[in-house]
A and B are shown apart, each in its own frame.
Chain A
Amino acid sequence: MNETTRLLPWAPERTGEAAPVTPAPITKPPKPARPGLGALLYLPLRLAWRQLRAERARLLSAMAGVMFACVLVFMQLGFRAALFESATALLGGMRADIFLMHPLTTASFRPEGFPRSRAYQTLADPDVVEAVPIYLAQTTWRNPADGSRRSIQLVGFDSDAGALRFDGIEAVADALKRPDTIAFDRRSRPEFGPAAAMFEAQGPFDVQLGGRMMELAGLVSIGASFGADGNAVLSETNFRRIMLNRSASVIDLAALKVRAGADIPTVVARLRATLPPDVMVMSRPELVAHERAYWENATPIGFIFAFGSLMGLIVGMVIVYQILFSDIANHIREYATLKAIGYSNGFLSRVVMGAALILAIIGFIPGIIMSTWLYGVVGGATFLPLRMELERGLTVFGLIFGMCVIAGLLAMRKLRDADPADMF
């Protein structure tokens, strides 16, 4: 005692603030030990889990709700990415390093022509080894099975040029040099008819393109995109045989190949400085981004899918909120009892948050499994490149997590109704 007062001159015994009597044994001070940080988070989480687990049916419906939101968001984001990716399938499939395009071209399905001489001018640059003029046009294709007609994208270029990498182009390059031959895109939509299957079964056969009979001499793999449901590849000469009013000197795109080891951005910058402003010089990623930006900005597609995702999240949030809210409402007396025996509001709030997080996790896991499966099924049916990607998985988990946190915060307000004074 003396030691204490000597060390602590402001101790209550000295200042006379405390009653001088020795405290009664019954009024022992509260134990100073407090639950540690682990217990602070673990105990509410465990209580939340035990509470959720106790009612299987409700837990399953909550899980289904989160899973539903999860699948909805995955599908929306998947469609969005797939559509943007497929919008650029044609350009993405070209092997060139650098492209030239008319500045007024907004999207590849509606190109603006520019002089072919611009393509050859670039050969003056020491790093450009090849310049390939490309002709783009859409014409009608007659389905070889039932005769119905559809619009098809024609891509005319010198098939010997190494600047274009459509899968399978090497095998058909020689055949395309013959007059009136085309290579058909096997990943075109099925409305174009079973041309690929027919070719594989019986070899080359004649198809009608733009009112002209052409020999289907081979298959390439490009993929349907927004602007074109199907593609056909052919030589420059054969292109002009179909598109009679097109002149060879006006091209729609030029593909350049640079010397191995050359720095592409440097070459692009140099070409931009050299060429007149009637052409745009773009690297391949820039061209793909330009095409993508058109579909993102000029169409409501981006908005539609963002809106769809948001709706999915709101529905999921309402479901989670309902589950958490009714869990609190049904246990209001027990919550009030816990408050009465000394549990703080903070603890009970952590129980609600814990329940929200548990729902986020146990709903997300079946959600991502089901979405992966659906990507396969839907991708097969729509020919859209749907794939589960790590980055998208993390994004969706973040969104679902946030959804559950907001639902938890809303449900927490109900805790105020748990008044321990009503318990007696």
Chain B
Amino acid sequence: MLAPVALHGITFAYGEGELRRPVLRDVQLDVAPGEIVLLTGPSGSGKTTLLTLIGALRAMQEGSARVLGLELAGAGEGARVALRRRIGFIFQNHNLLGFLTARQNVAMALEMQGTLDEADRLARAGELLASVGLADHTEKLPAKLSGGQRQRVAVARALAADPGLVLADEPTAALDKQSGSEVVHLLRDLAKKRGAPILMVTHDPRILDIADRIVTMEDGRIVSAAA
């Protein structure tokens, strides 16, 4: 089976000339279908940069990255935007649109698909919110939800469009132990059910138990990959 994420020889640097600061050096990483990979390491080790490259949020410099069948090296903006629609993103902050209800926020992720009409989108958003335990909160604005609830809305949004890959950046950083653990377990269960692999950057030792594999980075290199 083709790996959803296959990275080969990724090297990336910020700045130019004298100020050039390499953050990734010759990174190799494969993520198998349905696999949950946690990326840890000290700050500045390049985890987040790696995540933005895989998420097609940043242009590649050197190396090859095939994500969901698309070679990112040299891919144009249009192709990268199209790829992002097939990736579920979960951010450190929920980044929900404050003027939309939970249901409308989740439905936003479906609008780009063009296959569903408005009623179907809202119905599907409702189902997803129910699956993250927010059936009673669908019509609330994010400001009326707790931190854990907001992050669960973000999980529902990330999974709305049936992504082939979920990328998460410290999704528990702003949450207490219990709601953080609830959110990642929910994420794991839903992703496993859909067969979508997860690549998650985290510092949080409390959630390492959900991983199939833990990859540690240091100074732009992968230093260990514990199963």
C-alpha gap A347/B112 in the complex (Å) = 10
C-alpha gap A334/B154 in the complex (Å) = 12
**CB contact under 8 A between A342 and B93, given known A26-B2, A423-B57:** no
**CB contact under 8 A between A39 and B201, given known A27-B2, A333-B93:** no
C-alpha gap A342/B112 in the complex (Å) = 7
A-contact bits for B112-139, CB 8 A (1 contact / 0 none): 1111000000000000000000000000
When the two chains form their complex, are residues B69 and A23 in contact, meaning their CB atoms are under 8 A apart?
yes
B97 within 8 A of A: yes
C-alpha gap A43/B158 in the complex (Å) = 20
A-contact bits for B155-187, CB 8 A (1 contact / 0 none): 001100100100001000000000000000000
A-contact bits for B84-124, CB 8 A (1 contact / 0 none): 11111101110111111000100011011111000000000
B-contact bits for A327-359, CB 8 A (1 contact / 0 none): 000010110111111111001000000000000
**CB contact under 8 A between A50 and B100, given known A36-B114, A424-B201:** yes
Most buried by B among A50, A51, A331, A337: A337
Which chain A residues border B100 with CB–CB below 8 Å?
A: 50
B-contact bits for A19-38, CB 8 A (1 contact / 0 none): 00101111111110111100
C-alpha gap A31/B116 in the complex (Å) = 12
Task: State which residues 16-68 of B face A: CB under 8 Å.
Answer: 33, 48, 51-52, 55, 57-58, 68
Total residues of chain B contacting the partner, CB 8 A: 47
Task: Select A341's contact among B78, B109, B169, beta carbons within 8 Å.
Answer: B109
Which chain B residues border A24 with CB–CB below 8 Å?
A: 1-2, 4, 33, 69
When C-beta atoms are compared, the residue in chain A nearest to B196 turns out to be A26
When the two chains form their complex, are residues B95 and A342 in contact, meaning their CB atoms are under 8 A apart?
no
B81 within 8 A of A: yes
When the two chains form their complex, are residues A337 and B95 in contact, meaning their CB atoms are under 8 A apart?
yes
When the two chains form their complex, are residues B89 and A421 in contact, meaning their CB atoms are under 8 A apart?
no
C-alpha gap A44/B35 in the complex (Å) = 36
A246 within 8 A of B: no
Which chain A residues border B108 with CB–CB below 8 Å?
A: 338, 341
Which chain A residues border B147 with CB–CB below 8 Å?
A: none
Which chain A residues border B91 with CB–CB below 8 Å?
A: 337, 340, 423-424
**CB contact under 8 A between A26 and B51, given known A34-B114, A334-B95, A343-B112:** no
A212 within 8 A of B: no
Which chain B residues border A36 with CB–CB below 8 Å?
A: 114
Q: Distance (Å) between the CB of A12 and the closest chain B CB?
A: 13
Q: Distance (Å) between the CB of B124 and the closest chain A CB?
A: 14
B223 within 8 A of A: no
**CB contact under 8 A between A21 and B2, given known A342-B84, A423-B91:** yes
**CB contact under 8 A between A340 and B82, given known A24-B33, A26-B195, A424-B201:** no
C-alpha gap A25/B69 in the complex (Å) = 11
When C-beta atoms are compared, the residue in chain A nearest to B33 turns out to be A26
Which chain B residues border A344 with CB–CB below 8 Å?
A: 78, 81
Q: Distance (Å) between the CB of B31 and the closest chain A CB?
A: 10
Q: Distance (Å) between the CB of A275 and the closest chain B CB?
A: 74
Which chain A residues border B84 with CB–CB below 8 Å?
A: 339-342, 420
Which chain B residues border A35 with CB–CB below 8 Å?
A: 111-112, 114
- Rank and list the top 4 A-B pairs by shortest CB-CB distance, nearest first: A54-B99, A342-B85, A27-B69, A24-B2
- CB pairs A–B below 8 angstroms (9 shown): A27-B4, A34-B114, A51-B97, A340-B57, A342-B84, A344-B78, A421-B57, A423-B57, A423-B169
B positions within 8 Å CB-CB of A: 1-2, 4, 33, 48, 51-52, 55, 57-58, 68-69, 78, 81-82, 84-89, 91-93, 95-100, 104, 108-109, 111-115, 157-158, 161, 164, 169, 195-197, 201
